[in-house]
Structure 1
């Protein structure tokens, strides 16, 4: 079997194939389903009446279930897929069973089997089958959407709630009133940023950069650029240009699934507003993504 990276379609093809599933009309219908998913997950956790992990058991679970629903993963596969999703990250997996490469191979095989079936639930997989995209390419695209969207979206949701909990704005505005774009600008999950390599000798801000050298483009710093976002260190719900943030990147490489990610974030933080916690701790991850390994919480 080819290596996964050798199976990946060009970015422009992925964007073209997934665009209909991310249309405004489709997203409008999906938003109700995701909101219900979030309510069900959090209600179930709080009814247990004991400490649980707000990150892995709520934010990550909502992200995983939302992706399953949007992709059109049949119910019979969803539990196994959630288990495989959690193994894609070495920070979240447990023991030897957390091998990300093995989990990715199993997940790809599962998506290929689903795409090969005649009867498929509505979603991206069904869209691609109708376009006669091969099961292998369909499976590859689905894996890419999961890897790109699962943890970043869960972390963005958690970071948004953390920002609301410590910001003076939370005393004036309810969670649901706040602009998701402003929350992503204020504290997005991408860390440290994007790497690029100079193709020729140049000078950036008085610093010589030579051809072949690696450059780190800090998206978080760009989102706090005072020349673009006045009072950039503050969370401003009514910020008129919040959508200019770079949490999803920009240009051809802008996150394909951004519309879906924003709905998941909005739903996650809207639902959690109605719940109270006696204690919340945070255990941060220290590489690749700004976000969490776990958030132990005790419901009120």
Structure 2
């Protein structure tokens, strides 16, 4: 006589977090890490993010490289499950952050031929010029809003210069959907922004095919590997990833970094006295106030055990970078900001494994140049009186909504 089939075990109901989560995100991640490191949670806000959150450093690092956690078509899966998408169509989904090997291997190999360390290092004079131009606008002023007037336009301008876009296009395509986007403040790219960027990038790619230059877009078009090349959709998707989605990391890195330095005057004074500390300061900012709260989308292809919990198949797993980067098992006194911390670069802010952020060197370069110029040009820089940090209502992006500063 056959044994009766046992019913599938019921999943625990997710912990539904209050909107105040974003103002105490570090404390919540710490409680989760100390309570076993895995929590089934539903985050507040319009993004609709729910899943299993992993907060310990060792588990996070291991799972970031675990092939049982898939990224293949994860954006589409997220859209179907939540009833929303993060863009207007397949042409913007064929990128490395939405694929597994062998597709990911092929895409990364081709893109790396264009996104070289030498090409990134050669961008320094261009980035310095953009930083200087933005800060020139502040001369004679007493105050500024650092995100909208500096941290946001800088990486957009750099990206479009990287692609060989015209100066007029810089003004037309200031990407504002990633910060206050229509007042939502959830850090997501609006479909309106995505559709316009899709159309614009398609036209720019067509132009570069006919008139190639030394920019990255032309390099992506020309990239070859044993006769293989990127398709038009793949080039569009990669460009979109860098300009619209990827630049949010740099915006948050710059804004979070300035906020952190201004609230730690001892570190600020040390940097002014010894600029050689800047590379270490950038790494510590990435660790202490990671520009991403959660790593990009992943889902289980089979049951995966993390600590004492087993995450079922076909569930989203969110790697909690905030918790991992302040794990005392790796970082001594982790809630202390220390620009001389010797192992700060072990942070996971840019991921780990095959999906480690290809644009990390560019983000670091922009941040270091931005911080250095701000400290040199405005020695009296400080937070505006009465400013209280308010954070984007999205667990994936750890970014301030605004950063008003006094310049003198």
Could you say which TM-score interval applies, normalised by the shorter chain? 0.7 to 0.9
Aligned-pair CA distance for 1:198: 4.1
Aligned-pair CA distance for 1:248: 0.7
Measure, in 2, the Cα distance between the counterparts of 1:137 and 1:212: 26
Aligned partner of 1:3 in structure 2 is 90
2:267 aligned to 169, 175, 197, which one?
A: 169
Length, aligned pairs only: 294
Q: Is the 8 A contact 2:151 2:254 kept in 1?
A: yes
Aligned-pair CA distance for 1:254: 1.5
Aligned partner of 1:292 in structure 2 is 400
2:135 aligned to 25, 34, 42, which one?
A: 42
Aligned-pair CA distance for 1:286: 2.0
Measure, in 2, the Cα distance between the counterparts of 1:278 and 1:109: 40
Aligned-pair CA distance for 1:193: 4.1
Measure, in 1, the Cα distance between the counterparts of 2:215 and 2:140: 32
User: Structure 1 length as normaliser, TM-score?
Assistant: 0.85
Alignment of 1:209-248 (within 5 A): 209-248=311-350
Alignment of 1:1-300 (within 5 A): 3-5=90-92, 7-8=94-95, 10-44=103-137, 46-47=138-139, 49=141, 51-82=143-174, 85-87=175-177, 89=178, 91-93=180-182, 100-117=190-207, 118-131=210-223, 133-167=230-264, 168-174=266-272, 176=275, 177-178=277-278, 179=280, 180-193=282-295, 196-201=298-303, 203-274=305-376, 275=378, 276-277=380-381, 279-280=383-384, 281=387, 282-287=389-394, 288-300=396-408
Q: What are structure 2's unaligned runs of at least 5 residues?
A: 1-87, 97-102, 224-228
3-state SS in 2 of match to 1:146:
helix
Q: What are structure 1's unaligned runs of at least 5 residues?
A: none
List per-residue Cα deviations over 1:219-272 (Å, max 9, x = no partner).
Answer: 121111222222322223233332221101111221121111111111111111
RMSD of the alignment, in Å?
2.8
List per-residue Cα deviations over 1:188-225 (Å, max 9, x = no partner).
Answer: 11124455444444543333444444433211211112
Which runs of structure 1 show a deviation greater than 6 angstroms over 4 or more consecutive aligned residues? none
3-state SS in 2 of match to 1:297:
strand
> More deviation in 206-215 or 61-70?
206-215
Aligned-pair CA distance for 1:94: 6.4
Distance 1:60 1:272, change over 3 A: same
Q: Is the 8 A contact 1:51 1:299 kept in 2?
A: yes
Measure, in 1, the Cα distance between the counterparts of 2:304 and 2:107: 33
Measure, in 1, the Cα distance between the counterparts of 2:150 and 2:391: 16
Measure, in 2, the Cα distance between the counterparts of 1:47 and 1:34: 19
